[in-house]
Chain A
Amino acid sequence: MENSFIIDKIYKAFNQDILKMDTASDILSFTVASPVIYEVIRFLKENENMNFGFLTDLCGIHYPDRGLPFGVVYHLHNLRENKRIRIKTFVTLGNPYLPTVTDLFSSANWMERETYDFYGIIFEGHPNLKRILNVEYMDFFPMRKEYPLEDPTREDKDDRYFGR
């Protein structure tokens, strides 16, 4: 399965909603607008030319300086043709809602709960969206970048020392 074939099909189906494409990194990646993420994932899974029937990974990412700071990264795998694809979508802090893909992939259940647990991204339609690894009474989302790992009063561990 060639990259150009996938790119062709995806652009034909979701032309204006594909925000970015990356062919340079290890896996073909697309950034899509958040309202169509469910449609894109379903297209990739169910379209007879695509057959990305295996959800390898789903995780969150946080870029506090961007206009759309919260991202969710889906890794899909076409096992028959052994082709991987990476789909990203971004949401804002004020509106961190995304549709769930649990009805397409049962495996997404806990992965979405983990993403909610650590980043506070809310997956609408999820059957049981509550914290999974952290305690239930935790009132913040610990993987967000504003929560430093160290004691915040320390001054010798700022970002300069980590090359940023």
Chain B
Amino acid sequence: MQPFPLPEPGWGTGSGVNNMEENQYTTLNLGPTHPATHGIFQNVLTMDGEQIIDADQTIGYIHRAFEKIAERRPYYQITPLTDRLNYCSSPINNIGWHMTVEKLLGVKTTKRVDYMRIILMELARITDHLICNSVIGVDSGALTGFIYVFQEREKVYEIYEEVSGARLTTNMGRIGGFERDLSLKAVKKIREFLDHLPKVLREFEKLLMRNRIFMDRTIGVGPISGERALNYGFTGPNLRAAGVDYDVRVTTPYSSYDDFEFTIPLGTQGDTYDRFCVRQQELWESIGLVRNALENLPEGSFHVDVPQFYLPPKEDVYSKMEALIWHFKIVMGEIDVPAGEVYHSVEGGNGELGFYLVSDGGRTPYRLHFRRPGFIYYQAYPEMIRGGVLSDAILTMSSMNVIAGELDA
């Protein structure tokens, strides 16, 4: 990055230096901690008056070297690292990681585990989309919707709390299933949430969807064609808004997603409004999925029998020799994992979240690479905002759902 040029002597005094006739560009430093960017992103914009000519991105402000740390951690200790990738939908990351390890081990989960996972992953998708869409509202000047749907997000966090004990960085589930079954209270909370959310969503949509001001601010803002989006590695709602029907849940069904019927909404223009609408429609689909999975939740065990990875219940540890041994071995990280390599991906809140795991037979991964969707599609940002104005650039960024934790890993 170039150092910013200092203003020349006489600048701003009307003496003719730097006036518009000489057509000099202004450099505008947007970020790293700008109140409108919701995270730590720096963009050095080259502006011609109010028009953006180019943008130079700097990322890595909260880089925490997760991939390096993961090379020295036993598998169950990597789950908390994945929490901190896309922290708006941590359960998807946690469960995605567990499924990657299960794929490496060749473990087949029970239907009950699969359905519980679908319930939690879809709830996570709901929070993720709620935040993103309401923030689009905030950035276009409508704070009300944001405050309103945050109440619903709070309810989902209470469900997480009931299931895993944590709220934001959930560390949910275990390799092989869940640490405990869905409690009656959790089921009741999910039902209450499902009953209440449609009313809120309808009201939220009434506020923004056909709002003249909102439409004027978002239609045609930050567009990208389907072809360019594919070339830039877009996935998730951003790609679908550009009209490409790629969804990991459908193309490579995991966790029994193929048992359910749901629609994949598509946009046509790939602009901010389409991204908003696609997410909004996905919210409705997610509600249907959670409801379906909850109604058809099969009987059975909430975990599978993988004693090398699944911590035994505490009362067994105190009374049974074998459970004590496994408990000790797991906690001390003394479990050897078979050698192999595997790529597993799940449909995260903002795109295809992939885990490329290479094991050499040791107790920790030899190499673990996270395919973070935000990291890959954020590089298209300069192309999307070129020629627009600054306030549109802010709106484009929030509609892309770039999460700093995931971007910088």
Encoded as 1 (CB less than 8 Å from any A CB) or 0, chain B from 364 to 384 comes to 100101010001111110000
**Can you give 17 A-B contacts (C-beta < 8 A)?**
A54-B233, A61-B358, A61-B367, A75-B356, A79-B246, A106-B379, A106-B380, A111-B376, A118-B67, A134-B60, A143-B67, A149-B68, A149-B71, A163-B334, A163-B362, A164-B360, A164-B362
Question: Are A54 and B63 in contact (CB-based, < 8 A)?
Answer: no
Assuming A61-B367, A110-B375, A133-B60, is B343 touching A27 (CB within 8 A)? yes
Interface residues of B (CB under 8 A from A): 59-60, 63, 65, 67-69, 71-72, 103, 228, 230-233, 244, 246, 251-252, 333-334, 336, 340-345, 352, 354, 356, 358, 360-364, 367, 369, 371, 375-380, 408-409
- Of all chain A residues, the one with the shortest Cβ separation from B332 is A161
**Interface residue? A53 (CB, 8 A):** yes
Q: How close is B46's CB to chain A, nearest CB, in angstroms?
A: 16
Contacts of A139 in B (CB 8 A): none
Contacts of A26 in B (CB 8 A): 103, 341-344
**Interface residue? A162 (CB, 8 A):** yes
Complex CA–CA separation, A79 to B352 (angstroms):
13
Q: Which of B344, B345, B364, B377 contacts A162 (CB 8 A)?
A: B364
**Interface residue? A9 (CB, 8 A):** no
Interface residues of A in 119-135 (CB under 8 A from B): 132-135
B interface secondary structure, majority? mixed
Encoded as 1 (CB less than 8 Å from any B CB) or 0, chain A from 78 to 101 comes to 010010101000000000000000
Complex CA–CA separation, A133 to B68 (angstroms):
13
Question: Are B59 and A133 in contact (CB-based, < 8 A)?
Answer: yes
Complex CA–CA separation, A84 to B342 (angstroms):
12
Question: Are B342 and A109 in contact (CB-based, < 8 A)?
Answer: no
Assuming A57-B369, A107-B232, A132-B60, is B343 touching A163 (CB within 8 A)? no
Contacts of A132 in B (CB 8 A): 59-60
Contacts of A107 in B (CB 8 A): 231-233, 376-377, 379
- Of all chain A residues, the one with the shortest Cβ separation from B246 is A79
Contacts of A54 in B (CB 8 A): 230, 233
Most A CB contacts (10 A, CB to CB) among B233, B244, B342, B345 go to B233
The 5 closest A-B pairs by CB, nearest first: A107-B233, A133-B60, A163-B363, A163-B362, A59-B369
A interface secondary structure, majority? loop
**Interface residue? A40 (CB, 8 A):** no
Q: Which of B72, B231, B409 contacts A105 (CB 8 A)?
A: B231
Contacts of B356 in A (CB 8 A): 57, 59, 73, 75
Complex CA–CA separation, A114 to B363 (angstroms):
26
**Interface residue? A25 (CB, 8 A):** yes
- Of all chain B residues, the one with the shortest Cβ separation from A113 is B379
Complex CA–CA separation, A87 to B371 (angstroms):
16
Q: Which of B63, B69, B103, B252 contacts A82 (CB 8 A)?
A: B252
Q: Which of B72, B341, B371 contacts A57 (CB 8 A)?
A: B371
- Of all chain A residues, the one with the shortest Cβ separation from B361 is A163
Most A CB contacts (10 A, CB to CB) among B59, B67, B69, B379 go to B379
Known: A82-B252, A111-B376. 15 other contacts (CB 8 A): A25-B340, A25-B341, A26-B103, A53-B230, A54-B233, A56-B354, A56-B371, A59-B369, A133-B409, A134-B60, A134-B63, A149-B69, A162-B364, A163-B334, A164-B362
Contacts of B380 in A (CB 8 A): 106
Assuming A26-B103, A75-B356, A164-B360, is B343 touching A57 (CB within 8 A)? yes
Contacts of B379 in A (CB 8 A): 106-107, 109-110
**Interface residue? A151 (CB, 8 A):** no
Contacts of A73 in B (CB 8 A): 356, 369
- Of all chain B residues, the one with the shortest Cβ separation from A107 is B233
Contacts of B232 in A (CB 8 A): 106-107
Contacts of A157 in B (CB 8 A): 72
Contacts of B230 in A (CB 8 A): 53-54, 79
- Of all chain B residues, the one with the shortest Cβ separation from A61 is B367
**Interface residue? A55 (CB, 8 A):** yes
